[in-house]
Homo-oligomer: A and B are copies of this chain.
Amino acid sequence: MYKRRNKCRGMRKRKGAGRPTISDVAEKAGVSTITVSRALRDPSKVSDHLRRKINNAVKKLNYVPHSHASALASTRSNIVGVIVPSLTNNVFADTLRAIYDELDDGVFQVQLGNSRYVAKDEERLVRTFLGQGPSAMIVAGTDQTAATRELLQNASCPVVQIMETGDDPIDMMVGFSHFEGGRAAGTHLVQKRYKRIGFLGARMDPRSYRRLEGFKEAMRSGGRYDPDLIVTTTASSSVSLGAELIGQLRKRRPDLDAVFCNNDDMALGALFGCQKAGISVPDEMGIIGFNDLEMMAASYPSLTSIRTDRYQIGKRAVQMIKSVLDGETPEQKIIDLGFELQCRESTTREKK
Q: Which residue of B lies closest to A310 (CB)?
A: B88
- List, in ascending order, chain B residues with CB within 8 A of A294's CB: 238-240
CB of A75 within 8 A of CB of B272, answer no
Give the segment of A42-50, A94-102, A185-193 that binds chain B. A94-102
Task: Report if A114-B132 is in contact (Cβ < 8 Å); known contacts: A90-B88, A275-B300, A294-B239.
Answer: no
- List, in ascending order, chain B residues with CB within 8 A of A72's CB: 66, 68-69, 72
**What is the CB-to-nearest-CB distance from A205 to chain B, in angstroms, rounded to a whole number?**
16
**What is the CB-to-nearest-CB distance from A52 to chain B, in angstroms, rounded to a whole number?**
24
25 A-B pairs with CB atoms under 8 Å apart are A17-B75, A17-B133, A19-B131, A68-B68, A68-B72, A68-B77, A87-B93, A87-B100, A88-B93, A88-B94, A111-B111, A112-B112, A238-B295, A239-B294, A240-B294, A240-B297, A240-B298, A242-B298, A265-B295, A268-B298, A269-B295, A269-B298, A271-B300, A272-B300, A275-B300
Q: Which residue of B lies closest to A296 (CB)?
A: B239
Max chain B CB contacts within 10 Å: which of A64, A68, A77, A112? A68
**What is the CB-to-nearest-CB distance from A259 to chain B, in angstroms, rounded to a whole number?**
16
Max chain B CB contacts within 10 Å: which of A19, A276, A295? A295
- List, in ascending order, chain B residues with CB within 8 A of A94's CB: 88
Q: For the complex, what is the distance from the CA of A114 to the CA of B106, rounded to whole Å?
A: 12
